[in-house]
Structure 1
Amino acid sequence: MSELTAFILVKTRREWLDLTVPERINAFETAVLPTVRDRVSNVRSRFYDTEFYSARVTDIWVWEADDHESFQLVIEALRETPFWDHYFDIAEILVGVENGYAKHYGTETPTTINA
């Protein structure tokens, strides 16, 4: 399990939308992936589209990191790519620890999922 999960809420900029889909994929594969992979090893990412539900936030980038330093390195790496403040505006970064309350108090984790 990851030490922390970060939700980076972003809003697409016109520069991103003006790219074709192949150009977007190429930009991600050449500008973001190598930069992050060269600097960080203990992270995983997922991406969610929200533009059909929100005007303020168009996407949520979810990053799971094994430690706080790894997540810090992700942010440092992303800031040096065109994805930060060129293709996307960073609306908010929310970092959380899954079931932190239950872990802190040594209790069972309440869940709605039937095990």
Structure 2
Amino acid sequence: MPVEETAPPVTAFMLIKTLPEWLAMTPHERMDAFATQVVPAIRARTTGVRSRFYDTEFYSTRVTDVWVWEADDHAAYQLLIDALRETPFWDRYFEVVDLLVGSENGYARTYGFDPLATITT
């Protein structure tokens, strides 16, 4: 029986910068705000998303953090963004500087090649 190929997940690199309201909170208040205001909104609106969070403020002044999202499909990604926009995360705690959205090794999938840029040493 042939294996049915599934669509690749959607990956989004969300480049963000902290805003004064976020920085005015203590670290404990920040974690509480994130856990009570942002995470529940995401969980209530979408499924099939995963994330990783990277601090970059010690290397960049334009972007303080990069939030990497992987969504099972474009619909899950759209629901994620809609959910985030309804929370204080969006434009109160953080400025979304840029969104870079793509599909891993999309060029290889399009042309039937093995991924060349995936390197493990």
| TM-score interval (norm. to shorter) | over 0.9
**Cα contact 1:2–1:64 (8 A) shared by 2:** no
Q: Which amino acid aligns with 1:26?
A: D
CA distance, structure 1, for counterparts of residue 22 and residue 49 of structure 2: 25
**Cα contact 1:4–1:97 (8 A) shared by 2:** yes
State the identity as a percent.
60
Q: What is the TM-score normalised by the length of structure 2?
A: 0.91
Match for 1:109 among 104, 115, 119?
115
Shift of 1:73: 0.4
Unmatched 5+ stretches in structure 1: none
The one-character-per-residue Cα deviations of 1:39-94 (angstroms, maximum 9, x if unpaired) are 11100011000101110000011110000010000000000100100011110011
Task: Quote the RMSD (CA, aligned, Å).
Answer: 1.2
Match for 1:6 among 12, 22, 25?
12
Match for 2:59 among 49, 53, 58?
53
1:64 is aligned to 2:31: no
CA distance, structure 1, for counterparts of residue 26 and residue 37 of structure 2: 16
Q: What is the TM-score normalised by the length of structure 1?
A: 0.95
1:100 is aligned to 2:67: no
**Cα contact 1:43–1:71 (8 A) shared by 2:** yes
Shift of 1:112: 2.1
Shift of 1:14: 1.0
CA distance, structure 2, for counterparts of residue 106 and residue 113 of structure 1: 21
CA distance, structure 2, for counterparts of residue 47 and residue 3 of structure 1: 18
Bigger radius of gyration among the two: 2
